[in-house]
């Protein structure tokens, strides 16, 4: 057996093996696999716009007008006319001077952090930040100091104790992707101002989700203009793919000239940019979608609690049910699929050992009867596992 096969076997032994699973998405809430339809509670399409007629039509028209691909990088020939229109509207939506679109949310974080932080700077990063933030910190030529998750006093202590000859950066997720909790930005920003630190917020799971009109974490806390860089994604609430950074015009110009993930990537296809722009327009036109999403999140949490499940508190659409053991999370996900419900089983290294979980994600398009069905399936699956004596 070669060394790669041995490593695969070890991953399997630890219940950590992963592989892509093919689903045919039929709507925002229904997917098909092997001819069977399932209720989907594992999608990041928070507003259900992936199948919206206006979004799909925009993509079709972009292909017809501009072709299938961009044909070049953004700084060569890849900036087709759809790009500046989207970036202008993203900046206006986030109430910033300018915005820059990247190919993925991951590439946005990597490019922004490594493009802004220089030698002599110090980055202060939340312990539960997304992997793309962690990798961006690794690529930056700066010291990185990790503070305890959401702990502003620990952040203050580390700001006090860490020498810095350059610029300080504080980086945090806005809504944390695995627990669904919201960063205490209302306390982080005043502290950053006290230490003249640049605040970078990754709103991948907050754009279109929290704040007035879905404008994100800074808007949620009423911090207009006090967060230096607001990062978002086009692949979740905005239904397409890509990421963006929004901020002062001069800062965006720096990123266009320094962010290697922006400079050295072929630009997004016209259909992708058009779809994201159409989704943004739909969000602006129908901000009540954000209210429906929040109402669904509150409803499902209350139903889970009534059924005896402990979901982490909050009102975001990320609803984790902590199970502990990796095999328990996998067994529950399989039992739910047998009952027609798709839920993600999340295991290390995505979450710390001993905190494996089911991660339920809902959309504005789910109906209450969909959520009721999911809770009944959870009860039946849990009862089945207990009767089977698999150690739950």
* Catalytic site positions: 177, 205, 236
How many whole angstroms separate alpha carbon 336 and alpha carbon 329? 11
Q: Are 240 and 283 in contact (CB under 8 A)?
A: no
Sheet containing strand 30-33, edge to edge, reads: 24-25, 30-33, 36-40, 341-342
Contacts with 371 (C-beta within 8 Å, 6 or more apart), sequence order: 296, 299, 300, 303, 362
How many whole angstroms separate alpha carbon 148 and alpha carbon 135? 18
3-state secondary structure of 217: helix
How many whole angstroms separate alpha carbon 44 and alpha carbon 317? 9
Closest CA to 93 of 275, 287, 288, 236: 287
Instruction: Give the CA distances from residue 336 to residues 25, 108, 371, 383, in Å, rounded to whole numbers and listed in that order.
Output: 18, 35, 13, 11
Alpha-carbon dihedral of residues 125, 127, 133, 135, nearest 10 degrees?
A: 110
How many whole angstroms separate alpha carbon 37 and alpha carbon 211? 34
Peptide bond into 349 cis (omega under 30): yes
Q: Are 114 and 136 in contact (CB under 8 A)?
A: yes
How many whole angstroms separate alpha carbon 243 and alpha carbon 341? 29
Contacts with 38 (C-beta within 8 Å, 6 or more apart), sequence order: 23, 30, 31, 32, 337, 340, 341, 342
Q: Kindly state the tokens that stand for 41.
A: 């509670």
Max Cα-Cα span within the chain: 62
């Amino acid at each position: 057996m070669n060394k790669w096969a041995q490593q695969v076997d070890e991953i399997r032994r630890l219940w950590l093996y992963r592989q892509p699973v093919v689903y045919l998405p039929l709507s925002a809430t229904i997917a098909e696999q092997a001819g069977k339809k399932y209720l989907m509670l594992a999608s990041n399409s928070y507003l259900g716009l992936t199948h919206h007629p206006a979004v799909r039509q925009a993509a079709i028209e972009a292909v017809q007008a501009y072709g299938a691909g961009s044909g070049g990088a953004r700084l060569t020939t890849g900036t087709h006319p759809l790009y500046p229109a989207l970036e202008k509207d993203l900046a206006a939506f986030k109430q910033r001077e300018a915005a820059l679109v990247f190919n993925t949310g991951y590439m946005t974080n990597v490019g922004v952090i490594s493009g802004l932080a220089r030698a002599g700077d110090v980055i202060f990063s939340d312990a539960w930040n997304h992997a793309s933030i962690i990798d961006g910190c690794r690529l930056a030529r700066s010291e990185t100091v990790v503070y305890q998750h959401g702990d502003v006093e620990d952040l203050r202590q580390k700001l006090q104790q860490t020498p810095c000859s350059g610029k300080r950066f504080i980086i945090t997720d806005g809504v944390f992707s695995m627990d669904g909790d919201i960063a205490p930005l209302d306390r982080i920003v005043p502290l950053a101002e006290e230490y003249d630190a640049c605040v970078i917020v990754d709103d991948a799971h907050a754009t279109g989700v929290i704040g007035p009109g879905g404008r994100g974490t800074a808007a949620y806390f009423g911090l207009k203009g006090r967060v230096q860089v607001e990062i978002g994604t086009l692949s979740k609430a905005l239904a397409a793919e890509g990421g963006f950074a929004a901020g002062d015009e001069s800062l965006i110009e720096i990123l266009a000239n320094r962010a290697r993930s922006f400079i050295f990537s072929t630009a997004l296809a016209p259909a992708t940019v058009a779809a994201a722009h159409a989704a943004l327009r739909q969000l602006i036109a129908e901000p009540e979608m954000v209210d429906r999403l929040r109402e669904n999140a509150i409803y499902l949490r209350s139903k889970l609690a009534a059924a005896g499940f402990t979901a982490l508190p909050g009102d975001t659409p990320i609803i984790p049910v902590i199970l502990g053991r990796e095999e328990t999370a996998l067994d529950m996900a399989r039992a739910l699929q047998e009952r027609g419900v798709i839920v993600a089983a999340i295991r290390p290294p995505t979450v710390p050992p001993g905190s494996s979980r089911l991660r339920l994600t809902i959309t504005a398009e789910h109906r209450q009867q969909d959520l009721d069905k999911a809770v009944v399936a959870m009860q039946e699956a849990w009862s089945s596992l207990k009767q089977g004596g698999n150690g739950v």
